[in-house]
Amino acid sequence: MVDFGYAPLEIKIHDLDKANLTLGEWIAERDETFKHCIACGSCTATCTAGKFTAFSFREMCHSIRRGELMEAITESEKCMLCGKCILACPRNVNTRNIVKLVRKANQNFRV
Amino acid sequence: MGKEVAIIGGGVAGLEAANQLATLGYNVIIFEKKGQPGGNAAKWDRLFPNRRHTSEVVNSLKSRLNGNPSIMLSTAISSVTKSGNRFVLATKGKNFEADAILLATGFELFPAEKKEEYGYGIYENVITSAELEEMFAKHGKPVMKNGSTPSKIAFIHCVGSRDEKVNKPYCSKVCCVTAVKQAIEVKEAIPAAEVYSLYMDLRMFGPGYEDLYKEAQQIGINFIRGRLSEASELDGGRVQIKTEDTLSSRPLKMSVDMVVLMVGMSPALGTIELISGLGLKPNKDGFVAVADYHLNPIGTGVEGVFVAGACSGPSNITDSVNAARSAAIEIHKYLSK
């Protein structure tokens, strides 16, 4: 960064040059519906767990796509696996399976 | 010349093509299964982007229906077959012959009751965009089931569009701008009303559409980026809706007096049966497949059979008029061989 009057807020910036996108690739290899999300929010709107905690499946997926793996893993632990979001998704994303894959990834290779 | 062209469907595309072909000297007959010409447009009060009365456009299109082109109303074609260079169209009771066929069977509105979680047909103040047009035509404003004027209205985009759960994976193209048009009209008719629009993406692709969106913002339409997950009825006929406000990443609920479902375009019933007799297949979305999407969008796989308008995919009126004119030229070329 050149010398400039303001310090960049590193923590707020998505730096896709450095981001770790491997979790997203690992999930998509096992369930390609991960790639089909259009971020409409139907899953979060209908979420049973989301009524009681700040869980958002859409945000979890987005964190993965931006390489924020710890956020995604923390988020995945809030899901009750009820599967209601599968019924709401207009792109047939296999939401429940993707939450399970995030949890599995966490156990397998400790991202 | 005196050659005969049969057009199946008397909506915008069928009427426009008929007018052009009659001008070129062909004998044109339109078969319309409904009792009046104009198709879906005949039921629409006003058009985007300039809120012009639809009747102006439809009346202009049908003003030449006096001799050639002619129209047979309440006449459904049950099958079309080709023998040599001629086509035979079967109706109940009588067969007709023609030298070329134009498919202009249009679209049907998506049956909103298939999205059961939205409550159409169950909750009394959940209506479709088409029913709102009828209300505008009849009362000049939306009216609740109990006769009172709604003060809080939500428009729900993409009902039967971009939704694999109801086998409608495609975008219906015109509903975004229609919702914005109708939201403005509601606000004009009921200035004190709160009007909300729940969208996934706003696809303002046409001339004047983005201006309409800006106008909606200026007069205070509230846009929420989120898709409806479900609706439930409250006491007094009000409706509670749930979505995610995806821009703030938080679930959102609100109660409104009326919910308007922006129903998409589905292939017209019976069209697939009609074309299968000619050996033609629908495309993956169930509309008539065209010969070449870029270079021959009005041709089909059968020589002498052409297609125009929304029966080959979601179209606005301008698209249908353009396709109809292209079809008229292609039919002229085909019949002049």
Q: DSSP characters for B248-301?
A: TTEEEEEEESEEEEEE-EEEPTTHHHHHHTTT--B-TTSSBPPSBTTTBTTB-S
Contact residues on chain A for B262, CB-CB shorter than 8 A: none
Q: All domains of chain A, ordered by start, with CATH? A: 20-109 (1.10.1060.10)
Instruction: Report the complex ipTM.
Output: 0.86
Give me the percent of chain B exceeding a pLDDT of 70: 100
Question: Does pTM top 0.90 for this prediction?
Answer: yes
> Is the confidence at residue B61, as pLDDT, over 80?
yes
CB proximity B249 to A under 8 Å: yes
Provide the shortest C-alpha distance from residue B142 to chain A (in Å).
27
A45 within 8 A of B242, measured Cβ to Cβ: yes
Collapsing DSSP to helix, strand or coil, B82 comes out as strand
Burial class (CB in 10 A: 0-12, 13-18, 19+), B72: middle
Which stretch of A6-15, B40-49, B276-285 has the lowest confidence by average pLDDT?
A6-15
DSSP 8-state secondary structure symbol assigned to residue A38: -
For residue A1, the model assigns a pLDDT of 54
In B113-172, the residues whose Cβ lies within 8 Å of chain A are 117, 158, 162-165
pLDDT at A52: 83
Which of B201, B229, B246 lies at the smallest CB-CB distance from A88?
Answer: B229
Least CB-CB distance to A45: which of B163, B200, B229?
A: B229
Report the gap between the CA of B211 and the closest CA in chain A (Å).
24
B227 at interface of A, judged by CB pairs closer than 8 A: yes
What would the pLDDT profile of A38-96 be if each residue is shown by its tens digit?
A: 999 999 999 999 888 889 999 999 999 999 999 999 999 999 999 999 999 999 999 99
A-chain residues near B162 (CB < 8 A): 38, 90
Residue-level pLDDT at A2: 60
For residue B225, what are the CA distances in angstroms to A40, B248, B311? 7, 9, 31
Best of A32, A33, A40, A78 to substitute, by most chain B Cβ atoms within 10 angstroms, is A40
Task: Give the domains, in start order, of chain B with CATH numbers.
Answer: 4-106+268-336 (3.50.50.60), 112-264 (3.50.50.60)
